[in-house]
Chains A and B, each alone.
Chain A
Amino acid sequence: MEEEIKKLKEECEKLKQTNEVKSDLISISAHQLRTSLSALKWILKMFLDEDLGKLTSEQNSFIRKAYNSNERMNALVNDLLTLSHAEDTSMSYKFEKIDLLYLIEQTVFDFSGETNKKNIELMFLKPDSPILPINCDKEMIIVVIQNLIENAIKYSNEGGKVFISLKQEENNLIVSVRDTGIGIKEEDKENIFKKFYRAPNAIEKEIIGSGLGLFATKNIVERHKGKIWFDSTEGKGATFFVSLPIN
């Protein structure tokens, strides 16, 4: 018996070490990739802004495509990092009591620059009655809220509206993020949370994404014993809901 426990402990230690090597490798690779991505982003932007001389419309179109392609790679690196963090079951989440209302307020505030770019109205419809604190990993729940708001803005047309709401239903807090964007086609609905899946109507519009954001979001929500789902009509927008247990 003692021998078996010793063996198990050794195996556990080995797995921990392997996992640390994996995390370091991901972190270092991401850092190196981002250095090249930053250089490309800044140079291509200089061309697009015609800081380096006037462009023909053909040149402009090619450079814009290169810029967007670089942005897709950047989004992929960001999402891979989030996912590696979210999926790492050996890493325990740091659960603490937090005020979700305050957290959403702060996150919404951070998006003011993004919404200005597309002239989008972002509103947080606060609950009428006080909300109980919940036990969660603050940083990971910020990622969930950020991902949903980011998507809502990304898939909205110029001048669109994004509404965020928070309410308590029995023993759960429900966050919803509603947009007036392109929506999700019926045939894409079952795939929307799958790893690397991107809906054709988003690809057609050349909206940048990696197909990992919602997968990672679902992963985080489920590690909080919560649920995520959505309602959508193509062309009319989508509403994503997250429910998190109070206890």
Chain B
Amino acid sequence: MKRVLIIEDDSFLQSLEVNKLKKEGYDVLTASTGKEGLQKINEPGIDIILLDLVLPNFDGFEILEKIRATEALKKTPVIVFSNLSEEKDIKRSEELGATDFMVKSNFTLDELVEHLNKILGL
């Protein structure tokens, strides 16, 4: 079973994501703030991270920076899953080592799962 960490502050969107990923057989960890996200990335066995950008306390960019500076997470795929889409946000995510950038409103949850499965080779 693959373990996904979802860092998302909108509780409704988070609940829909959790529901879908659990149904698809994922072991799901969640964080609702930047601070919580920074703690949860230290949990063992994380296979992939779904990361929102606009978060309370610390934003997604700061978390991404921390993820890539953590030896155990250097190669863990991180999908930035945000409703921001400006070039500067996409570029910054790439520079900080994001695996991919997806705009939430442009994807269904089925497409999101398809994408995660593909990255994990499932």
> A: which residues have CB within 8 A of B?
27, 30-31, 34-35, 37-39, 41-43, 45-46, 49, 74, 77-78, 81, 139
Contacts and interface: CB of A to CB of B under 8 A. Distances in A.
Contacts of A31: 54, 83-84
A37 B86 contact: no
Pick the 8 closest A-B CB pairs, nearest first. Answer: A34-B83, A34-B105, A38-B104, A38-B105, A37-B105, A45-B108, A31-B83, A42-B16
Given A34-B103, A35-B10, A43-B16, A81 B85 contact: yes
A38 B82 CA distance: 10
Interface of B: 10, 12-13, 16, 20, 54, 83-87, 103-106, 108-110
Contacts, number: 47
A34 B86 contact: no
Given A27-B86, A139-B87, A77 B109 contact: no
A205 to B, nearest CB: 22
Question: Interface of chain B, helix or strand or loop or mixed?
Answer: helix
Question: Interface of chain A, helix or strand or loop or mixed?
Answer: helix
A38 B110 contact: no
Given A39-B13, A139-B87, A45 B110 contact: yes
Nearest to A44: B108
8 contacts: A27-B86, A31-B84, A34-B105, A38-B83, A39-B12, A42-B13, A46-B109, A139-B87
A74 B109 contact: no
Contacts of B12: 39
Given A31-B83, A45-B110, A139-B87, A39 B103 contact: no
Contact of A74 (B10, B13, B84, B105): B105
Contacts of B103: 34
